[in-house]
Structure 1
């Protein structure tokens, strides 16, 4: 729903398809979860884009892969990820992201330095702005 997401995710179309397919998997595994059904209802009525994707009925369990994110300061970040199931939970996973190449590793180090400078100077973290 956030228009900035189209710039943040380099492959917006595939990312949006994946997110909706993963959500469909969660809904299917938790049919009695009122919050999930309310969320889907809100998204279907608020977004033609979501509604179109939801109607495809794709289901995906996203356990490993890559995402390319576009950061406004350091540029594109190519990240691999793995989902780790948490013990004693059927619904929670821990996602671990890592740099998929050396240039991403260098950009993450630059981002770390930038964030530390911003924090030192009292500029970051930025306050959340209400919508």
Structure 2
């Protein structure tokens, strides 16, 4: 089945007929809504919806995709993902967003963005395609230790699912794992057919059953801000907020900045780490 079909199937499986105002009838072999029920809720023919779920609806209109999104109760991130899967690059449809720079690799950061990153006194780093960490500032390295691994290993998904130290470093590992898979699913929708991403997914699926299960469930969620707990080997437990900002002109590059309230224990711990690398006071 196509990526689009897998995604739609997992989304209809999570909705019970009663929740959608439909009467239950007959024996259900699979959980959630039947395809004909989604078609009914979206106001399209059953045959058309089946073709869409089979990946044969490349010219679906905005109205149809929006109707399917409403029927399946997709959030904003899932709706964007639906558009990206239904209109892959080169299909002639309007993509969900510009494809961006598909050739971003470790260290590929323009000089101006590099100066901005270095000027930030809080821990910060830049995520590229496939969750590659392509650049970081002094505090970002002090907190996450990016410089201690080779460029090929400097990938957050690979660290999270393949490094045995990851569950200790991230006490809320399960939450971070789902967020990570959601990010990769979003990347896969925006860049279909990416061989490097396919290789990464295959590697993680082969070596980690949790990743394999999460990937099959098609989580899609854009995390522009939130919280993250890190058990630092020297500074102890860091309760951090984070903000994620797309770099202008480089939609595939995300600047991630960790923050902590000025009067918190985490801010104090970060200040001690900052003193070791000669960085000024870490802002709240």
Normalising by structure 1, we get a TM-score of 0.81
Q: Deviations over 1:35-83 (max 9, x none)?
A: 1111111111221121011111111111100101001112111111111
| Distance in 1 separating the partners of 2:251 and 2:193 | 15
1:28 aligns with 2:177: no
| Distance in 2 separating the partners of 1:112 and 1:87 | 28
Structure 2 gap ranges (5+): 1-161, 279-284
| Distance in 1 separating the partners of 2:218 and 2:234 | 37
Change (3 A) 1:87 1:116: closer
- TM superposition shift of 1:32: 2.7
Give the corresponding residue for 1:37: 198
Contact 1:63 1:83 in 2 (8 A): yes
Give the corresponding residue for 2:265: 103
Q: Would you tell me which structure has more strand in proportion to its own residues? A: 1
Residues paired across the two proteins, number: 116
Give the corresponding residue for 1:86: 247
Higher relative contact order (CA 8 A, sep 6+): 1
**Please, which of 238, 244, 247 is the counterpart of residue 77 of structure 1?**
238
| Distance in 1 separating the partners of 2:233 and 2:173 | 16
| Distance in 2 separating the partners of 1:33 and 1:23 | 12
Contact 1:73 1:111 in 2 (8 A): no
| Distance in 2 separating the partners of 1:82 and 1:72 | 23
| Distance in 2 separating the partners of 1:10 and 1:45 | 24
- TM superposition shift of 1:116: 4.3
Structure 1 gap ranges (5+): 118-131
- TM superposition shift of 1:104: 0.6
Give the corresponding residue for 2:216: 55
| Distance in 1 separating the partners of 2:207 and 2:175 | 20
| Distance in 2 separating the partners of 1:37 and 1:62 | 22
